[in-house]
Amino acid sequence: MKLFVDTGNVKEIEALAALGILDGVTTNPSLLAKESGDYRQILKQICQIVRGPVSAEVVATDTAGMLREGRDLASIDEHVVIKVPFTKDGVRACKTLASEGQRVNVTLIFSATQAWLAAKVGAAYVSPFVGRLDDVGTTGMNLVREIVDIFDNFEFPTEILVASVRNPIHVVEAARMGADVVTAPAAVIEQCFKHPLTDIGLERFLKDWEKAQAAKV
């Protein structure tokens, strides 16, 4: 399963990329609005760091606007993936952009039928939002399981990109279900590194080593 980080912060991306674990980045207008500077330059810099898929989202809500903005975003760098919302206009835009050879990430997926329709028009990625489903009393990961089953049945090339990830449990479940990609905030990825027994074990090893060296003196 590929790992993307969900952020527009260049420093967070650089730190994760340096570890060799990062496959791509997802951004959205809200994330980029938090950063200072021109969003086009920020996206270009992110692409140069990651050298992998970087989702950049349109803000238009009509098909013509999505096409215009999507093509403009794609011109920033070859690694840009155009991100459109799942609406009828978004589906139409995805169909056109995909036919032009552009990679499209259809976002705000909350049902298996939405994912299926996005795949039918050539989406490169569909992004089910598991955390937001959990927030309204639904088990978000059940949606991922449904999409995996459907895509396996019909061999859709569309990749399932699990989004709105809130904790490492979401990451583990996504991997077990066979999702293609998980995108998570840097804080959640940091949590994936942590386990108290690792810290205790390392501390014990170091103390034992110190005792052994002291005994040789």
Task: Find residue 4's DSSP bridge partners.
Answer: 24, 183
- Tell me how crowded residue 49 is: count the other CB atoms within 10 A of its CB: 18
pLDDT band at 211 (very low <50, low <70, confident <90, very high): confident
Residue 106, H or E segment: strand 104-109
Residue 3, H or E segment: strand 2-6
With a pLDDT cut of 90, the percent of the chain lying above it is: 88
DSSP 217: -
pLDDT in tens, 71-109: 999 999 999 999 999 999 999 999 999 999 999 999 999
Say if CB 124 and CB 105 are below 8 A apart.
Answer: yes
Domain residue limits at 116: 2-216
**What token pair was written down for 176?**
């077990």
Given this model, what pLDDT does residue 209 score? 84
Coil/strand/helix, residue 160: strand
pLDDT band at 152 (very low <50, low <70, confident <90, very high): very high
Closest CA to 45 of 36, 170, 154: 36
| Beta strand 80-85 pairing with 104-109 | parallel
Closest CA to 47 of 56, 38, 34, 59: 56
CATH of the domain at 59: 3.20.20.70
pLDDT band at 17 (very low <50, low <70, confident <90, very high): very high
Closest CA to 38 of 84, 46, 78, 6: 46
Given this model, what pLDDT does residue 28 score? 94
Say if CB 125 and CB 105 are below 8 A apart.
Answer: yes
Q: Which residues of 157-166 are buried (b: 16+ CB within 10 A; e: fewer)?
A: ebbbbbbbbb
Distances (CA, A) of 179 to 89, 92, 107, 183: 26, 25, 15, 11
pLDDT in tens, 194-204: 988 888 888 88
Q: Which amino acid is at 205?
A: F
Q: Which amino acid is at 202?
A: L
pLDDT in tens, 63-74: 999 999 999 999
Q: For the chain, what is the domain count?
A: 1
Computed over every residue of the chain, the mean pLDDT equals 96
- Residues with catalytic function: 83
pLDDT band at 205 (very low <50, low <70, confident <90, very high): confident
Q: What is the pTM of this model?
A: 0.93
Checking if the pLDDT of 208 tops 80, the result is no
Q: Which amino acid is at 199?
A: D
- Tell me how crowded residue 122 is: count the other CB atoms within 10 A of its CB: 19
Checking if the pLDDT of 23 tops 90, the result is yes
